[in-house]
Copies of this chain bind each other. A is one copy, B any other.
Amino acid sequence: MIRIVILGAGTVATHLCKAFLASDTCEVIQVYSRKKISLKSVPAYLNTTTSLSKIKEADLYIIAIPDDAIIVFSETLPFKNKLVAHTSGSVAMKKLSSNNRKAVFYPLQTFSKDREVNFSQIPICIEAESSSDLTLLKKLGKAISEKVSVINSSEREKLHLAAVFVNNFVNHMYTIGSEILSEENISFDLLKPLIAETAKKIETLSPKKAQTGPAKRNDIKTIEKQMRLLKSSTNNDLYNKLTKAIFETHGKKL
């Protein structure tokens, strides 16, 4: 049984906590949070603390707090030579405090407070300094997911960069689509089947092969007409840049 202390009580911490609780391989022995109020989202029967000095002895400490706070926080932990993993896509493992054994346990998914998560299909990217620590993380990863990959910090930063494109930037495209429709009082629901199919297509087709649309087929007339329709200069500029990028990728020129 892997004994875990979770450091943090936000969205990722809560989802991980639930997934660990559902597994026979590990045990969440404590959840730490700086603020008492944050611990409200943690199941009531779990041991919690807001005091660093009261953190229990465990096999693994998982830091699940905002990316920009991880490094400094890792230096404040009042113990040594323990296995400490963060859960971030963007922070290099070596940046963790050298007081403890460094590791990463990064679930590659976007988490929302109120959405249930099926961890079994979420890739868990792990990294550690020693093979025995890596073995423990692998065991823990497999306890909650079918997809565990050993990914080093340099690969992970590329993964996280790619994730920003396919998640954050994609979501902004949805926002622009919704803005264009709301100007005309057209329901965003009309776009939902298209959004679902666009995402489903690349499960079996490479995104390069799945590309369609005016830019792909070099339909200058439609491109010019659509750019005239865009009132927002920011969106107009984005349309132009994205169209040129598609031209470039698919070997066409303006």
Chain B residue nearest to A176 (CB atoms) is B165
24 pairs from A and B in contact (CB 8 Å cutoff): A90-B225, A109-B197, A115-B204, A157-B229, A161-B226, A162-B191, A163-B194, A164-B213, A164-B214, A166-B174, A166-B177, A168-B214, A168-B215, A170-B174, A170-B198, A171-B202, A171-B213, A172-B249, A174-B202, A174-B210, A175-B249, A178-B207, A188-B206, A198-B199
- Distance between Cα atoms of A95 and B247 in the complex (Å): 28
Main secondary structure of the interface of A (DSSP, over half): helix
A68 CB to nearest chain B CB (Å):
6
Inter-subunit contact A191/B173 (CB<8 Å): no
The residues of B that contact A237 with a CB separation of less than 8 Å are: 241
The residues of B that contact A241 with a CB separation of less than 8 Å are: 237-238, 241
With a 10 A CB-CB cut-off, give which of A159, A163, A207 has the most chain B CB atoms.
A207
Answer whether residue A53 sits at the interface, using C-beta atoms and an 8 A cutoff: no
A192 CB to nearest chain B CB (Å):
6
* Contacting residue for A234 out of B159, B174, B193, B244, CB 8 A: B244
The residues of B that contact A149 with a CB separation of less than 8 Å are: 190
Answer whether residue A108 sits at the interface, using C-beta atoms and an 8 A cutoff: yes
- Distance between Cα atoms of A217 and B222 in the complex (Å): 35
A97 CB to nearest chain B CB (Å):
18
Which positions 177-232 of chain A face chain B at CB distance < 8 Å?
177-178, 180-181, 183-184, 186, 188, 190-208, 210-217, 219, 221-222, 225-226, 229-230
